[in-house]
Structure 1
Amino acid sequence: MRKQISSTQNKTVKQILQLQEKSRTRRKEGLFLIEGIREIQLAQKANYEFTAVYFCPDLIKEEKLLKFQFTEHLLTEITTEVYKKIAYRSGTEGILAIAKTKSHELSNLQFKTENPLILVAEAPEKPGNIGAILRTADAAKVDAVIIANPKTDLYNPNIIRSSVGCVFTNQITTGTTSEIIEFLQEKKVAIYSAILQDSEIYTKQDFTKASAIVVGTEAVGLSEEWRKNATQNIHIPMQGEIDSMNVSVAAGILIFEAKRQRKFN
Structure 2
Amino acid sequence: MTKQITSTQNTYIKQLAQLKDKSRERKKTGTFLIEGEREISLALKGNYDLETVLFYPDLFTKEQLNSLTTNVRLSAVGAQPNCIEISKEIYQKLAYRDTTEGVLAVAKSKNHTLTELEFKTKNPLILVAEAPEKPGNIGAILRTADAANADAVIIANPKTDLYNPNIIRSSVGCVFTNQIATGNTSEIIDFLKAKNINIYCAALQASVNYHTQNFSKPTAIVVGTEATGLSDEWLKNSTQNIIIPMQGEIDSMNVSVAAGILIFEAKRQREFK
Count of aligned positions: 265
| In structure 1, distance between residues paired with 2:272 and 2:89 | 47
Question: How far did residue 208 of structure 1 move?
Answer: 0.4
| In structure 1, distance between residues paired with 2:51 and 2:194 | 38
In the other structure, the counterpart of 1:185 is 193
Question: How far did residue 264 of structure 1 move?
Answer: 7.6
Question: How far did residue 72 of structure 1 move?
Answer: 6.7
| In structure 2, distance between residues paired with 1:2 and 1:15 | 20
Quickly say closer, same or farther: Cα 1:121–1:76, change in 2 above 3 A: same
Q: 163-172 or 70-79: which moved more?
A: 70-79
Output the amino acid matched with 1:92: T
Question: How far did residue 62 of structure 1 move?
Answer: 2.1
Describe the SS at the equivalent of 2:172: coil
In the other structure, the counterpart of 1:120 is 128
| In structure 2, distance between residues paired with 1:152 and 1:72 | 30
| In structure 2, distance between residues paired with 1:105 and 1:148 | 11
| In structure 2, distance between residues paired with 1:38 and 1:72 | 18
8 A contact 1:191–1:231 mirrored in 2:
yes
Quickly say closer, same or farther: Cα 1:106–1:72, change in 2 above 3 A: closer
Q: Which runs of 5+ in 2 are unaligned?
A: 73-78
In the other structure, the counterpart of 1:80 is 88
| In structure 1, distance between residues paired with 2:214 and 2:107 | 40
Quickly say closer, same or farther: Cα 1:72–1:186, change in 2 above 3 A: closer
| In structure 2, distance between residues paired with 1:82 and 1:108 | 36
| In structure 1, distance between residues paired with 2:80 and 2:4 | 12
Question: How far did residue 107 of structure 1 move?
Answer: 1.2
Moved over 2 A (4+): 70-73
Question: How far did residue 64 of structure 1 move?
Answer: 1.5
Which runs of structure 2 are paired with 1:54-203 in the superposition (5 Å)?
Answer: 54-68=54-68, 69=70, 74-203=82-211
Describe the SS at the equivalent of 1:159: helix
Identity %: 69
| 2:19 counterpart of 1:11 | no
Output the amino acid matched with 1:15: Q
| 2:226 counterpart of 1:240 | no
Describe the SS at the equivalent of 1:258: helix
Question: How far did residue 57 of structure 1 move?
Answer: 0.5
Question: How far did residue 108 of structure 1 move?
Answer: 1.3
In the other structure, the counterpart of 2:75 is none
Q: Which runs of 5+ in 1 are unaligned?
A: none
8 A contact 1:48–1:99 mirrored in 2:
yes
8 A contact 1:2–1:72 mirrored in 2:
no
Describe the SS at the equivalent of 2:271: coil
| In structure 2, distance between residues paired with 1:253 and 1:208 | 15
| TM-score of the pair, normalised by structure 1 | 0.97
C-alpha RMSD of matched pairs (Å): 1.3
Describe the SS at the equivalent of 1:262: helix
Describe the SS at the equivalent of 1:213: strand
Tell me the alpha carbon deviations over residues 85-117 of structure 1, each in whole angstroms, 9 at most, x when there is no partner. Answer: 111111211000001000000111121211100
| In structure 2, distance between residues paired with 1:215 and 1:178 | 15
Describe the SS at the equivalent of 1:181: helix
| In structure 2, distance between residues paired with 1:27 and 1:77 | 26
Output the amino acid matched with 1:174: T
| In structure 1, distance between residues paired with 2:2 and 2:242 | 58
Output the amino acid matched with 1:210: P
8 A contact 2:50–2:81 mirrored in 1:
no
8 A contact 1:5–1:77 mirrored in 2:
yes
